[in-house]
Copies of this chain bind each other. A is one copy, B any other.
Amino acid sequence: MHDTLEAFAIQLIDLSHPEPDGSRRLIPERELCARLDVSRGALRERLSQLEYIGVLSRRQGHGTYLQAPGPDVIRTYFTTMRALGFLDSTEIAEAREMLETVVAVQAARRATAADAERLRALVDEMVACTAAGDHDAATEADLAFHAGLFRIVDNPVFTMVHTGLAYALQQAMHERRARAIAAETPDADGRTETDTIHYPVVDAIAANDPDAARDAIRRHFEIHSLITLDTAEEAPA
């Protein structure tokens, strides 16, 4: 078992059979051991690594499957690094904002009218939730809006990284949003600045105007940044 993980993974393809849903079912672990001439313990160590990165799932009493990883594959990666103090929230938040900026610009280049409408609907929903006092739902809609930007650009690497960063920041984002809401004075329509700042982003994307999108998302982060939210974490070292 001194192969690289990718070499090991490739071997598994030949030791599996296709399923109707597009995944591939591996032969049972005990057979795999025999075929690869390795003990079950060593095999399971490798399988658990592949499971960790989301390309493999195991169900007791059912089987083991090779599958396309979901968008949250990188999630545990960042949350673990953050939990151990090897990344702090400031660094994660900074990366997220730079990522969203470039994605908003790219989305403005690529968005169809339908894409823009979907985005606008999400902002409308967020505003409605805020007006109704349901801040948790509003935060959900907020997250959906940002995920929507990535959906337009439709690059799996960016989507995975962004999803992972969003998870790692989730706690901080909820707290920050609650604080922002509390500090803001709603206008006549019950909208907070946090809500309305999203519309220029939608407008720019609907107009396919990358430069306007860059300005709008930048203004958004100016009043809604998570950077420097908490820097008091300490590394375990």
Contact = CB atoms under 8 A, between A and B. Distances in A.
Contacts of A86: 55, 68-69, 156
A53 B80 contact: yes
Contacts of A101: 102
B236 A83 contact: no
Q: What secondary structure prevails in chain A residues at the interface with B?
A: helix
Interface in A44-65: 44-46, 48-50, 52-53, 55
A139 interface: no
Contacts of A48: 45-46, 48-49
A85 to B, nearest CB: 9
B66 A53 contact: no
Contacts of A4: 76, 79
Contact of A18 (B76, B81, B165, B237): B237
Given A23-B237, A44-B41, A155 B91 contact: yes
B98 A102 contact: yes
B80 A9 contact: yes
Given A95-B157, A236-B24, A5 B45 contact: no
Interface string A72-88: 00101111111110110
A225 to B, nearest CB: 14
A236 B17 CA distance: 10
Interface in A6-57: 6-7, 9-10, 13, 18, 22-24, 41, 44-46, 48-50, 52-53, 55
Nearest to A78: B157
A92 interface: yes
Given A10-B84, A157-B161, 4 more contacts: A5-B80, A6-B80, A18-B237, A66-B84
